[in-house]
């Protein structure tokens, strides 16, 4: 073995290494060291030829290796020839085999005889060609075949090749072009074969040579059938505009409904603006009208913590999302907003318009927060740790086309302090005063003004008890909150606080109402116990149990809130975590007889990328009771099955949704079959069963799975 630093041999090897899928000029300018192995090396003094003869191998850790029987370089002719059993292996694993290659024009152009290239990024992808020529970043193959499928070969007893079966699919063309810079493969006048039989001719086709990059082109089609939509086929075109912007146009034809044309655009402008928009339109044959939707957002970040943006979400009717997009939102939301935030302040402004999608909800009576201003500030006290003042304020206007309009302003000022005592106790002390003013317009003639003042004081205590090993922690906690009674007059409309329910997540909140139109008041005492245990970070257990007691104050809480009596319902949450499974539950028990009032439990096992199972159970006394399940099993490297199930347990039970998935992935293609059952109706959207089949030829482009 010899180490050669001759620029001539370096360029020679670089150009061979760079012939396929690597930029030749980059290697020609390299100054690295290559190791040369050969039976003999000749360097003639007159400079006519440089020869490496007999089992030549030139290798570099950065640029791969080339093996050949002989390599000849003719400086005066600006020509290089490599002959016999040429094998180039790139650092990325690309393997090229050929018999002869000749380079000219300062090694920027050349030709080769019959060769085979394996594109290791695609495992089995390869090109077989009778000849090849290259110039710059382009390689042209003549009389070539491309496939990503392996070829099964059988051999005679003497080891010679007996038979080579045709691959599952292949592309034949007399002109295949590989662009090493764009990493794309282009075909002219091509035939597509299945098991060696021609099935389709195309004048032109282009697809990526790198599975990790996105490229412009047609996406694999999907076909299916639906009880609501009939037979359907979906095709789409993906447009890669540049590194930061792309779009997709989709055509979905349904025999019962017509043609749905849709598209989406994703973009990044400069360094600070991002956005995405999608929309679609259809002339619905079944409903005999034109239906459409638009959904998108754009946001600009001025500086860290400062941003502004808008969202748009609109549809022509209340069921478009459910009918065609498999979504069923309660509201569609469009808004403009701006925010300025830091560690000690928040300033926000927004204007929002909601479209109610629920049954029998007149849009004219939907409250619209046309202006919402929020300003919060925290002031640290000099020379006093863990102590601060705060001011929170907001102003909102709610407008309706028909009904009550309202304008509300709220200012809250307060003080809080965190105290750690020597025995390990933690105290959080807070005192605040909140003032609110309302202007209420009971359209058209009755306009009133309401005000209220709410002072409040709270003290919370907790003390963790830690085992000697640190793996077991028990933390008792308690809190007392005091404020005057009678601060929820009926003249003040309740827009934001219509729902309240005590839970482990809000048990220690001073105000367990959602929103700011209603406030808890009076004196209440809250207590709980948290127990956690950890072992080797693979096994974890935690349990929290708590309750509150109202000494006095309003008793206007709803019956199913858990707060309708002086003693609240017991609330609890627990979690068990192991390496491969987890069980978490949150529940509420009646304070008098411990009967369940609310249960939310989820069990998961495995990983979503492999074998996976999850089970979710939800129960609300006087409300919903549902069970949902999701599962996926990899039977082997090729077959994968999965499914989902959602069932309403009320009123004798009813199937809401069910789905089964079967996927077969071969080394060069993938087939997916999905069956979906919808068991409920939503106005014009009836219950139905859908069947969907998709077929992807791997390496020719794919659409990321949802």
Q: What is the pLDDT of residues 378-392, one digit of tens each?
A: 998 877 888 999 999
Say which residues have a Cβ less than 8 Å from residue 389's Cβ, sequence separation at least 6.
378, 379, 381, 413, 414, 415
CB 24 within 8 A of CB 107: yes
Q: Which tokens belong to 342?
A: 């830091």
Q: What is the pLDDT of residues 69-88, one digit of tens each?
A: 888 877 777 777 888 888 87
What's the mean pLDDT in 563-591?
95
pLDDT at 686 over 70: yes
Looking at residue 92, what is its pLDDT?
A: 53
Looking at residue 257, what is its pLDDT?
A: 96
Looking at residue 476, what is its pLDDT?
A: 98
Q: CA–CA separation, 636 vs 308, rounded Å?
A: 49
What is the homologous superfamily of the domain 2-208 according to CATH? Answer: Lipopolysaccharide (LPS) transport protein A like domain (2.60.450.10)
Looking at residue 323, what is its pLDDT?
A: 95
Between 63-72, 164-173, 503-512, the lowest mean confidence (pLDDT) is in 63-72
Q: CA–CA separation, 515 vs 236, rounded Å?
A: 44
Q: Which tokens belong to 149?
A: 């499928």
Task: Using the Cα atoms of residue 332, residue 258, residue 248 and residue 689 in order, give the sign of their dihedral.
Answer: positive
Bridge partners, 391 (sequence order): 377, 413
Looking at residue 47, what is its pLDDT?
A: 63
Q: CA–CA separation, 341 vs 326, rounded Å?
A: 36
Q: What is the average pLDDT value for the chain, to the nearest integer?
A: 86
Looking at residue 567, what is its pLDDT?
A: 95
Q: Which tokens belong to 254?
A: 């349904």
Looking at residue 462, what is its pLDDT?
A: 97
What's the mean pLDDT in 115-126?
71
pLDDT at 110 over 90: no
Most confident of 16-20, 235-239, 312-316: 312-316
Burial 164-178 (b: 16+ CB within 10 A, else e): eebbbbbbbbeebbb
CB 548 within 8 A of CB 570: no
Q: CA–CA separation, 672 vs 691, rounded Å?
A: 11
pLDDT at 679 over 90: yes
Looking at residue 5, what is its pLDDT?
A: 34
pLDDT at 206 over 50: yes
Between 280-294, 375-389, 574-588, 636-650, the lowest mean confidence (pLDDT) is in 375-389
What's the mean pLDDT in 498-519?
92
What's the mean pLDDT in 541-550?
97
Q: CA–CA separation, 555 vs 563, rounded Å?
A: 8
One-letter-per-residue 3-state SS of 120-139:
HHHCCEEEEEEEEEEECCEE
| Closest of 105, 106, 89, 107 to residue 97, by C-alpha | 89
Bridge partners, 640 (sequence order): 634, 663
What's the mean pLDDT in 243-258?
95
Between strands 625-634 and 465-466, the pairing is unpaired
Confidence of residue 29 (pLDDT cuts 50, 70, 90): very low
CB 218 within 8 A of CB 225: no
Higher pLDDT, 553 or 231: 231
Looking at residue 75, what is its pLDDT?
A: 74
- Tally of CB atoms within 10 A around 180: 19
Q: CA–CA separation, 696 vs 692, rounded Å?
A: 13
In the chain, % helix, strand, coil (3-state, to 5) comes to 5, 60, 35
Looking at residue 3, what is its pLDDT?
A: 37
Looking at residue 35, what is its pLDDT?
A: 74
Between 120-134, 195-209, 610-624, the lowest mean confidence (pLDDT) is in 120-134
Confidence of residue 129 (pLDDT cuts 50, 70, 90): confident
Look at the block and give the residue holding tokens 């919402």.
372
- DSSP-derived letter for residue 365 is G
pLDDT at 50 over 80: no
Separation in Å, CA 541 to CA 464, 546, 578, 612: 16, 17, 9, 21
pLDDT at 24 over 60: no
Confidence of residue 41 (pLDDT cuts 50, 70, 90): confident
Q: CA–CA separation, 256 vs 67, rounded Å?
A: 62
Between 1-5, 219-223, 472-476, the lowest mean confidence (pLDDT) is in 1-5
Confidence of residue 27 (pLDDT cuts 50, 70, 90): very low
For the chain, the domains span 2-208
Looking at residue 695, what is its pLDDT?
A: 85
Confidence of residue 688 (pLDDT cuts 50, 70, 90): very high
pLDDT at 223 over 60: yes
What's the mean pLDDT in 504-525?
93
Q: Which tokens belong to 573?
A: 């949450």
CB 337 within 8 A of CB 308: yes
Phi, psi (5° rounding) for residue 241? -75, -45
What's the mean pLDDT in 208-226?
82
Q: Which tokens belong to 196?
A: 């060696």
Q: What is the pLDDT of residues 325-336, one digit of tens each?
A: 999 999 999 999
Q: Which parts of 562-653 are beta strand (E)? A: 570-577, 581-589, 596-606, 612-620, 625-634, 639-648
pLDDT at 96 over 80: no
Look at the block and give the residue holding tokens 């009771």.
625
Q: CA–CA separation, 103 vs 72, rounded Å?
A: 11
CB 602 within 8 A of CB 573: no
User: DSSP string spanning 151-201?
Assistant: --EEE-TTS-EEEEPPPSEEEEEEEEEEETTTTEEEEEEEEEEETTEEEEE
pLDDT at 595 over 90: yes
Long-range CB contacts for residues 302-307, cutoff 8 Å, separation at least 24: 302/272, 305/339, 305/340, 305/341, 305/342, 306/339, 306/340, 306/341, 307/338, 307/339
Looking at residue 30, what is its pLDDT?
A: 41
Classify residue 302 as left (phi > 0), alpha (psi -120 to 50) or beta: alpha
Looking at residue 132, what is its pLDDT?
A: 80
Q: What is the pLDDT of residues 438-484, one digit of tens each?
A: 999 875 567 889 999 999 999 999 999 999 988 999 999 999 999 99
Looking at residue 593, what is its pLDDT?
A: 93
User: Could you give the percent of the chain with pLDDT greater than 70?
Assistant: 89
- Tally of CB atoms within 10 A around 220: 19
Q: CA–CA separation, 157 vs 165, rounded Å?
A: 18
Looking at residue 4, what is its pLDDT?
A: 36
Higher pLDDT, 190 or 3: 190
**Coil, strand, or helix at residue 226?**
strand
- DSSP-derived letter for residue 48 is S
Looking at residue 107, what is its pLDDT?
A: 53
Say which residues have a Cβ less than 8 Å from residue 572's Cβ, sequence separation at least 6.
504, 543, 544, 545, 546, 586, 587, 588, 589
CB 496 within 8 A of CB 517: yes
Residue 545 CA to its chain's centroid (Å): 35
């Amino acid at each position: 073995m010899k180490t050669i630093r001759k620029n001539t041999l370096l360029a020679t090897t670089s150009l061979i290494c760079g012939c396929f899928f690597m930029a030749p000029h980059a290697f020609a300018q390299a100054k690295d060291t290559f190791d040369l192995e050969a039976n003999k090396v000749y360097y003639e003094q007159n400079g006519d030829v440089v020869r490496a003869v007999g089992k030549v191998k030139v290798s570099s850790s950065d640029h791969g290796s080339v093996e050949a029987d002989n390599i000849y370089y003719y400086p005066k002719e600006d020509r290089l020839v490599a002959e016999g059993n040429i094998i180039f292996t790139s650092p990325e694993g690309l393997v090229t085999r050929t018999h002869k290659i000749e380079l000219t024009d300062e090694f920027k152009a050349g030709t080769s005889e019959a060769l085979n290239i394996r594109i290791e990024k695609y495992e089995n992808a390869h090109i077989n060609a009778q000849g090849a020529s290259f110039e710059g970043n382009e390689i042209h193959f003549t009389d070539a075949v491309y496939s990503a499928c392996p070829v099964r070969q059988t051999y005679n007893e003497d080891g010679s090749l007996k038979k080579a079966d045709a691959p599952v699919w292949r592309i034949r063309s007399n002109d295949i072009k590989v662009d090493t810079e764009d990493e794309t493969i282009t075909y002219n006048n091509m035939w597509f074969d299945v098991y060696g039989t021609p099935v389709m001719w195309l004048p032109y086709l282009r697809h990526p040579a790198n599975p990790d990059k996105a490229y412009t082109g047609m996406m694999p089609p999907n076909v299916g059938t639906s009880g609501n939509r009939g037979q359907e086929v979906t095709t789409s075109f993906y447009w890669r505009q540049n590194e930061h912007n792309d779009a997709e146009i989709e055509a979905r034809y349904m025999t019962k409904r017509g043609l749905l044309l849709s598209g989406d655009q994703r973009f990044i402008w400069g360094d600070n603006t991002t956005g995405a928009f999608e929309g679609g339109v259809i002339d619905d044959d079944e409903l005999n009208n034109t239906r459409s939707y638009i959904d998108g957002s754009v946001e600009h970040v001025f500086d860290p913590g400062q941003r502004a943006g808008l969202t748009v979400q609109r549809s022509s009717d209340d069921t478009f999302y459910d009918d065609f997009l498999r979504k069923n939102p309660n509201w569609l939301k469009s808004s403009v907003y701006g925010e300025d935030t830091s560690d000690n302040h928040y300033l926000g402004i927004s204007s929002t318009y909601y479209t109610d999608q629920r049954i029998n909800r007149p849009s004219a009576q939907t409250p619209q927060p046309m202006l919402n201003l929020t300003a919060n500030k925290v002031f640290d006290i000099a020379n006093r740790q863990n102590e601060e003042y705060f001011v929170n304020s907001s102003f909102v206007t709610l407008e309706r086309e028909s009904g009550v309009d309202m304008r509300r302003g709220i200012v809250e000022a307060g003080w809080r302090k965190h105290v750690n005592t020597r025995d390990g106790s933690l105290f959080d002390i807070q005192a605040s005063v909140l003032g609110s003013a309302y202007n209420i317009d009971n359209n058209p003639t009755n306009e009133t003004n309401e005000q209220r003042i709410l002072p409040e004081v709270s003290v919370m205590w907790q003390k963790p008890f830690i085992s000697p090993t640190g793996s077991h922690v028990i933390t008792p906690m308690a809190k007392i909150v005091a404020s005057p009674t009678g601060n929820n007059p009926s003249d003040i409309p309740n827009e934001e606080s219509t729902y309240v329910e005590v839970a482990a997540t809000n048990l220690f909140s001073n105000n367990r109402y959602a929103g700011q139109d209603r406030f808890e008041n009076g004196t209440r005492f809250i207590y709980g116990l948290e127990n956690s245990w950890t072992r080797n970070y693979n096994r974890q257990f935690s349990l929290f149990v708590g309750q509150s007691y109202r000494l006095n104050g309003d008793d206007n809480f709803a019956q199913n809130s858990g707060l309708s009596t002086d003693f609240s319902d017991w609330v609890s949450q627990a979690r068990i975590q192991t390496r491969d499974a987890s069980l978490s539950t949150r529940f509420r028990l009646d304070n008098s007889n411990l009967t369940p009032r609310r249960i939310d439990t989820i069990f998961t096992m495995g990983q979503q990328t492999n074998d996976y199972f999850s089970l979710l159970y939800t129960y609300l006394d006087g409300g919903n009771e549902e069970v949902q399940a999701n599962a996926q099993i990899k039977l082997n490297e090729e077959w994968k099955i999965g499914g989902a199930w959602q069932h309403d347990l009320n009123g004798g039970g009813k199937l809401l949704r069910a789905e089964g998935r079967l996927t077969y992935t071969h080394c060069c293609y993938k087939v997916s079959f999905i069956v979906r059952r919808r068991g409920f109706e939503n106005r014009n959207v009836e219950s139905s069963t859908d069947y969907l089949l998709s077929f992807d030829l791997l390496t020719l482009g794919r659409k990321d799975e949802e």
